[in-house]
Structure 1
Amino acid sequence: MPRSSNKTPEDRHALVKWTEGVHAGMYTHNVALDWIHDFDATSPRYPETYAIDWRVPPKPRSGWPVIEGLVLDISSDLEYLKSKADQLTKKDQQRLNSSGRNDNEDAGSSSSERDSNLMDVNSEAFIALVARLSKSHANQSTGSSSSSRSSSFSNRSCSNESTSPPPQQKVSVGKSLCVDKTVYTLALNAGSPGRMVRPLLRQAFSRRRLIASTYAGQKRMVDGNLRVKPSLKKYQKMADIHSFVLRKYPYLSQSNFGAIVNSFLGEKPNAIQNIEYVEDSSESESE
């Protein structure tokens, strides 16, 4: 039973389990309620996923970064929230240890599909592994016919004018966006809106564009000159991603979706080298 009090929002804090960023899977027991985007403190809804300001000093000039987190409880009793966070951390560790033991016992008979479920499908290691396996499979099957495999997905495949077999089959996501089938599967099985958005963004736009842009565009004065960051919202491919995410998470608001997209833009989130982006030359954003 949540121990929410009737005190003012300033007296209460939230217990949050982070679902994105380097602290994914960890708990914070003292998140101020006004850091949580679109959170109604007078009639709070939880457990539920929200976009939350990551207020760890120093504050960037562009504002606090936004990270997705699961609000588990709110209370004015910080000791209670801290105790609950400690208990949840121990339970997570016990489940992890138990899962590891079961995996070792069943290693001889477990299938590759079951093994893949033991890894975070949005982790950098998993995405890199999928990319390597896909390239290896494509190299092995270059000289063989792939018509039987292609026909079973013909109703979802995007057209490809090349006469050589593609490295990965393309799947249509909306009106304009086509993504690799492995990326489509990752997004479809993601456990949160952020984990759906991230791989789709990297298939929709080049790294250069993701670094330079924001979701809705941004204007600011730098040394007396007006600088404008391009908007991704105007592209049909972004609308396709939004519609795709809403099919699984219909509660997600426009502002929350924009905050999630912005959390993956800029230099730092896109500095990762072992994830494949769409090439600049292959971008075809339809406005």
Structure 2
Amino acid sequence: MALQKKIAFLGTGNMAEALVKGLLRAGTATPEEIVCTEPRPERREEISGRYGVRCVPGNVEAVEEADIVVLSVKPQIMDQLLAEIAPAIDHRKLVVSIAAGVPIATIAKKLGAGVRVVRVMPNTAALVGAGAAALARGANATEDDLRQAKTLFEAVGTSVVVEEHQLDAVTGLSGSGPAYVFLAIEALADGGVKMGLARPVAMALAAQTVLGAAKLVLETGEHPGRLKDQVTSPGGTAIAGVHALEQGGLRAALIGAVEAATARSRELGQKAAAKKE
């Protein structure tokens, strides 16, 4: 679905580039509707040449012509960016932030009363069009604002809507989750190597197995426990493997990983808030 909006990406790191690529590929935006900002001349040239979009050094210039402003800089320079663009932000512009740990209240305070903000926690799989993003709406953002923000992120994967206080849990699950899955793929491949498979063969089979299993869950809508039961025939190989995983505490380890990452996200957010006071 075409947004037919001018979109400014303030900062062109990996996530912003993934969004630009996804929006163009999906037909959600045209190159003429996208402007990016980047301080490094070589990076500006790279982005413009690769996608046909305009890439400029000035943030204010980009904001002034945009309907949707995507804050895609590192959290540690967010204060500086917000102070710079505040005079160019008005109630007609939607602000979408993908800066981890920066609350909507902080953004709203810097940009002024009435600012429409949607905060998003994406993940790294957006780089291959398979991202998982969670969106939280600020007090002044409308249902249409949320729809527009969802359209941005559904160009590079799937999205869900949550309350802002739940974004730490999202960080613990889908934000950090790719790291857990990478470990699982590596461990499965190591198991294959131990049992005599060549490393490239084991890695290809492990990665495709994880991809296929995830697609089965998403596309069938079946509970993963039921899908597991369909694979584990009586006295068979899969149930022997499941037993070994249960003995190793796989479920508890994964639950613990989400819990630990969520707690760390909260801790980092509290530290960031304390510094701003």
TM-score, normalised by the number of residues in structure 2: 0.26
Q: Which has the higher contact order (CA 8 A, sep 6+)?
A: 1
TM-score, normalised by the number of residues in structure 1: 0.25
